[in-house]
Amino acid sequence: MSEDLLSFEPATGEELWRGPVSRVDDEVEIARGAWPAWAAQAVTFRAETLRRFADRVKAEAETLADLIARETGKPLWEARTEVESVANKVDISVKAYAERTPNRRIEGAMGLRNAVRHKPHGALAVLGPYNFPAHLPNGHIVPALLAGNSVLFKPSEKTPATGAKLVELFHGAGVPQEVLRLVIGGPETGKALASHEGIDGLLFTGSARTGLALSRQFAGQPGKMLALEMGGNNPVVVWDTADIRTAAILVVQSAFLSAGQRCTNARRLIVKEAMAERLIEEVKTLANRLIVDHPHAEPAPYMGPVIDNEAADGLTESFLILMSNGGQVIRHMTRPVADRPFLTPGIIDVTAMPERPDIELFGPLLQVIRVDSFEAAIAEANNTAFGLSAALIGGSPQLYDQFWANARAGVINWNRPTNGASSAAPFGGIGLSGNHRPSAFYAADYCAYPVASSESDAMRASIGVGLRDPEGSQLVTKKYL
């Protein structure tokens, strides 16, 4: 009898879904056997199949949004925006595939052609996260299928129901069941899939710890594609603005959207000392007004719970550690419901801490750092091994140019939140945030590889030097055609 994986609603603790753990060897064998026929289909056929998937997502948008909200705890309004992103991904990916992996031909002399075309890798594994259980894995799955790969999708063990629904929608749109496989299981299942010799690559979104382990594992396998997106310890810098209220709104959006469970959320607020008190007071006032409640509550909450009690316990402990090591509390992080993972926004000034932890605190916890100069602000922004997103709020165009040129991140915004990233642009980071395989519009780059060809309809060849005369030993200089 196979073991089952269970999923629970963070807001209520009730069981939401259960399903049997997959046999990785069997799933890989099926996907490997299916991808050649899928790759042989015209790209227009695959694109139309995926467009039917987008139509099915739109038709079942409310059902999918409700499931996402229940399984992640995020507010229903936010789950609806995730569903919109899932549907929109298809047209964006088709456009990206045409732009990033076009067929090119250059005509040469005597009928010679130089061509560049692209081939799929084969069977690709996709490991999905829990914070965007539909949108983020979909951002790998759609371009991978479009390029002609088969896909083995393992959703997070914390959000398997959303993963199963997503795969159901793909299959219902005409993606063959053998081409897209749902792999259910916990961390051990993920490790077995990632290390399986039958996969041709792995597309991963998740923690830096797991990403580093995957990077070491794939180091001896240069023939396999590895694309990593691993989050960040992201800075938002506020400088020289009289509009303190708008700046505070942008800070709160950066720090507390999705209960702080976006990889692009701001973890550190770096602010000019001369304006720090006014800004911090406004941020605190706004944070006090944020509604934290279950996904379907009325009035609609800004934040739901974090994913589970283990995550909430870890964040609470991190807040206490910052306090005990010199952090000055601006707003306490609290647990409004004792046995559920709801957290209120926590804000703490860590300017005086001699050593600040360079980790991704994945939740509604914002650290404040005061500085005297813009150069110090940039240095503090770069005081991390991560490099996903950064934002400057306020300042002049010249200051933004300086910030853009010197900030180490893959997403750099001005007068926008740190988590404002467009799917029509590349998305990825450097350092511990990624391995230079940005997703979103650039996902086409890692879902297919270029093949250069020199081609001619007729054979022509000559050797013009270095041949002996066939009748003797004398060297010849004429060409043999």
How many alpha carbons lie under 13 Å from residue 81 in its C-beta half-sphere? 7
pLDDT, one tens digit per residue, over 427-463 is 999 999 999 999 999 999 999 999 999 988 888 888 9
User: Per-residue confidence at 340, pLDDT binned at 50, 70, 90?
Assistant: very high
- Interatomic CA distance for residues 179 and 147, integer angstroms: 12
Give CA 467 to chain center in angstroms: 58
Q: What is the mean pLDDT of residues 160-189?
A: 98
- Interatomic CA distance for residues 468 and 69, integer angstroms: 79
Length of the chain equals 481
- DSSP output for 297-363: -SSPPSB---S-HHHHHHHHHHHHHHHHTTPEEEE----SSTTS-----EEEE-TT-SS---S---S
The single-letter code of the amino acid at 57 is: V
pLDDT, one tens digit per residue, over 389-401 is 999 999 999 999 9
Mean residue pLDDT of the chain comes to: 95
Which long-range CB contacts under 8 A does 194-199 form with residues at least 24 apart?
194/125, 194/127, 196/24, 196/25, 196/28, 196/125, 198/28, 198/29, 198/32, 198/123, 199/28, 199/122, 199/123, 199/124, 199/125, 199/152, 199/224
* DSSP code of residue 223: T
- Interatomic CA distance for residues 214 and 185, integer angstroms: 18
Q: Six-digit token pair at 422? A: 């467009």
Q: What is the mean pLDDT of residues 170-181?
A: 98
Phi first, then psi: give them for residue 122, nearest 5 degrees: 140, -120
Q: Are strands 365-371 and 426-427 parallel, antiparallel or unpaired?
A: unpaired
CB atoms closer than 10 angstroms to residue 357: 14
Which residues does 117 contact at the CB level (< 8 Å), separation at least 6? 103, 450, 451, 453
Task: Work out the percent of the chain whose per-residue pLDDT is above 90.
Answer: 91
- pLDDT > 60? residue 323: yes
pLDDT, one tens digit per residue, over 246-270 is 999 999 999 999 999 999 999 999 9
* DSSP code of residue 38: H
Q: What is the mean pLDDT of residues 29-45?
A: 98
* DSSP code of residue 133: T
Q: Would you say 261 and 229 are in contact if contact means Cβ atoms under 8 Å apart?
A: no
Q: Six-digit token pair at 52? A: 């039917």
Confidence (pTM):
0.95
Give CA 79 to chain center in angstroms: 17
Q: Order the strands of the 266-272 sheet from edge to edge.
A: 328-331, 346-349, 365-371, 266-272, 234-239, 389-394, 411-414
Which residues does 310 contact at the CB level (< 8 Å), separation at least 6? none
- pLDDT > 70? residue 2: no
pLDDT, one tens digit per residue, over 279-319 is 999 999 999 999 999 999 999 999 999 999 999 999 999 99
- pLDDT > 90? residue 159: yes
- Interatomic CA distance for residues 386 and 373, integer angstroms: 22
Q: Would you say 127 and 460 are in contact if contact means Cβ atoms under 8 Å apart?
A: no
Greater confidence (219 vs 478) lies with 219
Give SS3 for 444: helix
Residue 480's pLDDT is 45
- pLDDT > 80? residue 201: yes
User: Per-residue confidence at 325, pLDDT binned at 50, 70, 90?
Assistant: very high
Residue 473's pLDDT is 57
Give SS3 for 426: strand
Residues labelled as active-site residues: 229, 263
- Interatomic CA distance for residues 121 and 143, integer angstroms: 12
Q: What is the mean pLDDT of residues 414-426?
A: 92
What are residue 177's DSSP bridge partners?
none
Residue 108's pLDDT is 78
Q: Six-digit token pair at 308? A: 């589970």
Q: What is the mean pLDDT of residues 346-362?
A: 96
pLDDT, one tens digit per residue, over 357-396 is 999 999 999 999 999 999 999 999 999 999 999 999 999 9
Q: Would you say 277 and 324 are in contact if contact means Cβ atoms under 8 Å apart?
A: no
Q: Are strands 266-272 and 201-205 parallel, antiparallel or unpaired?
A: unpaired
Q: Does a cis peptide bond (omega within 30 degrees of 0) precede residue 299? A: yes
Q: What is the mean pLDDT of residues 87-102?
A: 97
User: Per-residue confidence at 481, pLDDT binned at 50, 70, 90?
Assistant: very low
User: Per-residue confidence at 1, pLDDT binned at 50, 70, 90?
Assistant: very low
User: Per-residue confidence at 334, pLDDT binned at 50, 70, 90?
Assistant: very high
